[in-house]
Structure 1
């Protein structure tokens, strides 16, 4: 049955029956709109009728059975443990009609994709690695609790009032926790979903490349690798190769942050000499 739902998402959506705008859950949380359906959960923008504040309400997908319910409870536990101003705060966890729901802080912001495509922002090497450093400072807090995020994609890194926020801990797990992969899972998925800090670094390597490509102007139609297309310093190239596991990867966030700090320091020194 699970394979049927994976092959036919519209059938799965009918079985999952997402809530509609105006529905009230737990006698308190009004659904405003659906934000998205992920692998194991459905997220909604909602309003807490007791406080008036906007919240995110997340439910486990019924088609995922106990796996979905287990992951939702784990996400709630992770958020309760982390408690960081740049990570959504857990507000509530409840069960209605046998299904668990979590309620967390609503993050009103924009992704770097919004900034690049809507505001035409362009990131230099220095700006891209400065933003990477900001994200890694939060990741260091997460890893210090023995947790790896495993889903640091562009939509899950948000700008709010000039501060970066990491959202969606639905796939977070303990470092070293056994992970089930299918035989046909591509290498990309395995690298992103490994229960090791390097899976977060791998995802952030692609995130950083996305930033750097915002300032890239192609000179031909020939398809080339990022190392050929992007004009990067040797240190930036070395950092990215380790993050993307093309070279022996970083084992911990402090090692990576040390290299990023050194890169930024060298940029500052070069700018000072130019003045």
Structure 2
């Protein structure tokens, strides 16, 4: 086990700053995920910034991991949404797989919440998540299910929400309703958890293992209703339209609009 991690560390060391990956020069390493290494690069000749993702060298020997990476690339190639960075390029270097996508300047929600201690009111949290729900809805219409919606994969750029990282995404072929509902509920649950992350930003008490968010947070009944259904505490949502309507009802309360 120890030697496996040593070997992985030796294989998966990120490229050094200044390394050229085709016409893209590495400026810094943005992150090391379970399957990929992410770089901020600039294109030679234009200095335009891009994000380059590399399949970890330790993973590329396995056909399953290569296929996963190619499937993620295919998703990005086919998705056309202003809040999802577009695929720009893809290439191989000495057997290594890479793809290039648009660079979205901003902070992800994990950084905002846990590094910068950003706080969100209930209205701000719900309004932000309304943007995210619109992205998820667009994906579901194409039978694409993200299945990994969490704070590091959501970037905020000038108050606009962007969804990243399709490494675990699933596209269901045909009309297998049972399979689609399984992945649909996964995304609904993750979406509910995202709302909770934002709402807990204003909680300053001491967390208790014996208490739940229902005990620790003081929320409007419409928000509680929404979260209970998203998280499967009460009967779960059967479609996106129901979520959109309940989310808008909760937002309307704080905006003084008739629900």
Instruction: Measure, in 2, the Cα distance between the counterparts of 1:176 and 1:240.
Output: 30
Tell me whether 1:198 sits opposite 2:185 in the alignment.
Answer: yes
Q: CA deviation at 1:99?
A: 1.9
Large movers: runs of 4+ above 6 Å: 219-222
TM-score normalised to structure 1 length:
0.82
In the TM superposition, 1:8-23 aligns within 5 A as 9-23=5-19
Distance 1:209 1:196 in 2: 20
User: Superposed, which structure 2 residues align to 1:121-132 within 5 Å?
Assistant: 121-132=118-129
Superposition TM-score, scaled by structure 2 size: 0.87
Give distance in 1, aligned partners of 2:71 and 2:255.
Answer: 42
Return the offset for 1:121: 3.5
Q: Does 1:135 align with 2:117?
A: no
Q: Please, which of 106, 110, 117 is the counterpart of residue 107 of structure 2?
A: 110
CA distance in 2, matches of 1:164, 1:106: 14
Mark the CA change 1:221 to 1:78 in structure 2 (over 3 Å): closer, same or farther: closer
What is the CA-CA distance between 1:210 and the residue it aligns to?
A: 1.1
Residues 1:70 and 1:230: Cα distance change in structure 2 (over 3 Å): same
Q: Secondary structure at the match of 2:58?
A: helix
- Structure 1 residues 220, 94: CA separation in 2 closer, same or farther (over 3 Å shift)? closer
Q: Cα deviations across residues 215-271 of structure 1 (Å, max 9, x unaligned)?
A: 12327867411101111122211211121122232233222111101221233237x
> What CA distance in whole angstroms lies between the structure 2 residues aligned with 1:221 and 1:247?
23
Instruction: State how many pairs are aligned.
Output: 250
Within 1, Cα distance between the matches of 2:210 and 2:251? 30
Question: Would you say 1:61 and 2:48 are equivalent positions?
Answer: no
Structure 2: tracts of 5 or more residues without a match: 175-180
Residues 1:173 and 2:138 are matched in the alignment: no
Match for residue 24 of structure 2?
29
Ranges in structure 1 where 5+ consecutive residues have no aligned partner: 178-193
Alpha-carbon RMSD across the aligned residues, in angstroms, is 2.5
| Residues 1:213 and 2:200 are matched in the alignment | yes
CA–CA distance in 2 between the matches of 1:222 and 1:40?
32
Aligned to 1:191: none
